[in-house]
Every structure is written in structure tokens, then in C-alpha cells.
Copies of this chain bind each other. A is one copy, B any other.
């Protein structure tokens, strides 16, 4: 299968693993910068316009046509909406994009819409407020308690996240910015769950649970594979209950204290921690290749990897002469 990886950035390992899983196929990598090391793990590199530039979509559709691309996916959030909106344009060319439905992608990026969707589906999540008045009301009745978290309704990693300890800090933080949400402060263990949802059947196929040990610059730096049964059950039942349709690799963040389990967010793409799953033998690329061939994968049959395997990230370097860029 010929596969195009968009906004490949620094996800060199992911491209390397894809190449290893698909040795006969062509891997084309694209990015708007020649300094994206993952570009050079592919068989071919394209420097594209920025995703918000006019002509971007045509540029990537042209790459698809030129190289008889079968599948395409992106590694950055802002591009997921572009793929979801234009899925038909790819399908017309015979390319199956690994992308969830637009309603799913949009719900994941608005933290308040996401929390509402989970609440409606009776999936436990972090208490989330879009209105200061409602939060103050729940504080007064004891339904909510300090500390709280203030963060942008859209935004990733821990950017502009603020912990507030009392009403005056809450008021001040609220006044200083806009497009914020208020969330309860959750003091539980963090988990990241990689899921693969079948393109054809729409069913969960595979799952990998990792307990986070250390975060650095908004990314999981160290983690350990886990067979946590409550996490497994919660994620499985969430995917059954949610009204939106995910497709392919998704990354679920959640909190658990062993008894309860609160879904925090979903990134409808390969998460930054996917190499942990792959190194433990959980190969989403093989499921993807199966889907690209028009066949569905076997339905989920439990966790298939070894628990207690630790992943520790470190920097490697990609070196290129100027003429090779």
C-alpha cells in the first residue's frame, strides 16, 4: 500500500514503524518545513504549503494522484478538520483517509462540547463549566470544590492551563482571558490509551493502556504498559456509547484512582505515545493495511500485550547536509 503521512514533523519513529510494517509499499512524507526529521524516514519527501494556505488541499491531492496513494493520515490536530471536511475528495481519488467523522473531530477539539457529549452519553468525565456563574453556583452548593483548573476551551498540551485555589483567583483568571473553561482539579493517576477503530465495521479492534509516569512539555516522557481493567472497561464502553464515529487510531487521555475512571480528552489521531504500543507488539499499521485492502479486522478480544513494560523517551538526532534538505 502507498501511504502519505501529512505534517510528519518529528514523529520519526512512527514513520519508521509504518515503513517496517509495509515494506513493499511507498511511504511519502509531507511537512511545511524541511527541518522536520520524520520527512527523511519516508521513501519520498514533499515540502508543502502551510495547512491554512490556499492551495494546500490541491497540493496534497496532487501528491496522492501522482504516487497512487492508498491511504493518508495526519499527525497534527489542526489538519484533522481539513481531512474530515475533505474526506470525499480523497475517496474520489481512491484514497482512504484515516480520519474520524467531522462531528467526532470537532467535538474532540472543543473541551466543553466534548464534556457535554460525554455527559449526555453517561460516560464519566471531568466536571467542566463554560460559565463562571454555573461554576460559582456549584461551588456554593458543594457540588464543586477548589482547587480548579482554568484552560482555553480549545488548545492542546498544558498551554495556558492555570490552577486556581479560591474565588478571587478564579474571578481574576476569568477576567484576564476569554474562551475559557473551568474544570475540577483531578488528583488521580493519568493514563493514555491507544485505540484502533475499524474503518469498515466501525468496531473497536485493538487497545493499549499505559500509565503515565512523567510528563514533559505537555508530552508523556515516561510510561508503563498496564492491564488496568477499569480503564479498559471505561474506554470500551465509551466507544460504544458515544454518538460520533471514530475511525483508525485514536488516543484517549483519562484519570483513574482504581475505583473511578474519568475521561479527560480524545485526540482522533496517532498519539505521541504510540511508539510505546508498537514496541509492545500492538501494531495499528497492520490493522490499517487490512482496512486499506477493503477488509475489516477481527473485533476486539481483550488486551494482547505484556504489562509492566516501561517506555522512556530520549533524543536521537537526524543529520542532513544543506543539499539533502
A317 with B37: CB separation less than 8 A: no
Among A238-266, those with CB < 8 Å from B are none
Per-residue interface assignment for chain A, residues 268 to 280, with 1 indicating a CB less than 8 Å from any chain B CB and 0 otherwise: 0000100110011
A35 with B312: CB separation less than 8 A: yes
Which residues of chain B are near A35, meaning CB under 8 Å?
213-214, 222, 310, 312
Q: How far is the CB of A215 from chain B (nearest CB, A)?
A: 11
Instruction: Decide yes or no whether A172 CB sits under 8 A from chain B.
Output: no
Instruction: Decide yes or no whether A175 CB sits under 8 A from chain B.
Output: no
**How many protomers of this protein does the assembly include?**
2
Q: For the complex, what is the distance from the CA of A325 to the CA of B309, rounded to whole Å? A: 10
- Of the candidates B272, B280, B308, B319, the one whose C-beta lies within 8 Å of that of A311 is B319
Per-residue interface assignment for chain A, residues 288 to 325, with 1 indicating a CB less than 8 Å from any chain B CB and 0 otherwise: 00000000000000000010111111111111111001
Q: How far is the CB of A60 from chain B (nearest CB, A)?
A: 22
Q: How far is the CB of A44 from chain B (nearest CB, A)?
A: 18
Instruction: Decide yes or no whether A12 CB sits under 8 A from chain B.
Output: yes
Nearest chain B residue, comparing its CB with the CB of A217: B217
Q: For the complex, what is the distance from the CA of A9 to the CA of B11, rounded to whole Å? A: 22
Per-residue interface assignment for chain A, residues 210 to 230, with 1 indicating a CB less than 8 Å from any chain B CB and 0 otherwise: 000110110000101000000
Instruction: Decide yes or no whether A32 CB sits under 8 A from chain B.
Output: no
Q: For the complex, what is the distance from the CA of A13 to the CA of B315, rounded to whole Å? A: 7
Which residues of chain B are near A276, meaning CB under 8 Å?
317, 319
- Of the candidates B213, B216, B314, the one whose C-beta lies within 8 Å of that of A37 is B314
Q: For the complex, what is the distance from the CA of A14 to the CA of B39, rounded to whole Å? A: 24
Which residues of chain B are near A308, meaning CB under 8 Å?
321-322
A interface bracket (residues with beta carbon within 8 Å of B): 35 or more
A315 with B312: CB separation less than 8 A: no
Given A35-B214, A217-B216, also A316-B314 (CB < 8 A): yes
A318 with B309: CB separation less than 8 A: no
B13 with A314: CB separation less than 8 A: yes
Q: How far is the CB of A101 from chain B (nearest CB, A)?
A: 30
Q: In the complex, which of the residues A12, A313, A314 has the most CB atoms of chain B within 10 Å of its own CB atom?
A: A314
Instruction: Decide yes or no whether A10 CB sits under 8 A from chain B.
Output: yes
Which residues of chain B are near A38, meaning CB under 8 Å?
314
* Partner-B contacts on A (CB < 8 A): 10-13, 35-38, 213-214, 216-217, 222, 224, 272, 275-276, 279-280, 306, 308-322, 325
With A35-B312, A312-B318, A313-B316 given, can you name 18 additional A-B contacts, CB distance below 8 Å? Answer: A10-B315, A11-B314, A35-B310, A36-B312, A37-B313, A280-B319, A306-B321, A308-B322, A309-B319, A309-B321, A310-B319, A310-B322, A310-B325, A311-B319, A313-B317, A314-B317, A315-B316, A316-B316
Q: List 22 A-B contacts (CB under 8 A).
A: A10-B312, A10-B313, A10-B315, A13-B316, A13-B317, A35-B310, A35-B312, A37-B313, A38-B314, A216-B217, A217-B217, A224-B322, A272-B315, A275-B315, A275-B317, A279-B317, A309-B321, A309-B322, A311-B319, A312-B320, A313-B317, A314-B316
